[in-house]
Structure 1
Amino acid sequence: MIKKMGYQWQLRQLMAERQMFQTSDLVPLLAERGITLSREQVYRLVTQAPQRMSMETLVALCDILDCTPNDLIKPEIVNIQVRKTADDETSPAPSAPRRTVIRRPGQS
């Protein structure tokens, strides 16, 4: 097995624990800390795990919610299958089946 890391994004849960149920509630609080995001951007930030985020935004969220980055991001191990090759090296299992090509004698 290859040890692959993932994470759970806990922003929505932390907001709910602090009686913040509208994603738009974050817009002015972020703006007070110099972070200008549209309502749509904040909605995506709350409802989807971000792939990238500025440190300034992370720090602002921690300040707003009185939490640490560890409270917002829960690391988790996501194991993936590995197959052994003929020379005994490991490589990730193919994600899609390979298409087989049948060649008849005389065809290239």
Structure 2
Amino acid sequence: MIKKMGIAWHLRLRMAEHGLFQTSDLVPLLAERGIHLSREQVYRLVTQEPQRLSMDVLAALCDILDCRPNDLIEVQVVNQQLRRTGGELTRPAAPPVRRTTIRRPQG
């Protein structure tokens, strides 16, 4: 089996710990460190897990939030593992669905 890796992105949590509740609060703080991103780019950075992240942006965020990269990025093993079958990757079969029966008292 092959483990699928993912990340948990904790930028919004770290921002809240420093009293930064609006994504736009980061725009001028990043600009002070030479990182010029639009409000939309910063919004996506805060609200979504980034697929790619430059080291300059990561360093600026760590400086702004007085944290380390591990405080922002948590590497996780995704619960779903992939199985190699005949050269193809497949997901294990889902457990069967149990239907619930509601029984009402007769009265």
TM surpasses 0.5: yes
**Structure (1 or 2) with the larger CA radius of gyration:** 1
What aligned pairs does 1:65-80 form with structure 2 within 5 A after superposition? 65-78=65-78, 79-80=80-81
Q: State the 1:34 CA deviation.
A: 0.1
Shift, 1:18, TM fit: 1.0
Aligned twin of 2:89:
92
Q: Which runs of 5+ in 1 are unaligned?
A: 95-108
Q: What CA RMSD, in Å, does the superposition of the two structures yield over aligned residues?
A: 1.5
What is the CA-CA distance between 1:83 and the residue it aligns to? 5.0
Note the residue ranges of structure 2 that are not aligned, 5 or more in a row. 92-107
User: What SS class does the counterpart of residue 4 from structure 2 fall into?
Assistant: strand
Map 1:32-51 onto structure 2 (within 5 A). Answer: 32-51=32-51
2:22 equivalent to 1:22: yes
- The sequence identity of aligned pairs, in percent, is 67
Q: Which residue of 2 aligns with 1:106?
A: none
Give the TM-score normalised by the residue count of structure 2.
0.78
- Which has more strand, going by share of residues? 1
Size of the alignment, in residue pairs? 90
* Aligned counterpart, 1:82: 83
C-alpha separation between the residues in 2 aligned to 1:83 and 1:32? 48
TM-score, length of structure 1 as denominator length: 0.77
Q: Distance in 1 between matches of 2:48 and 2:24?
A: 15
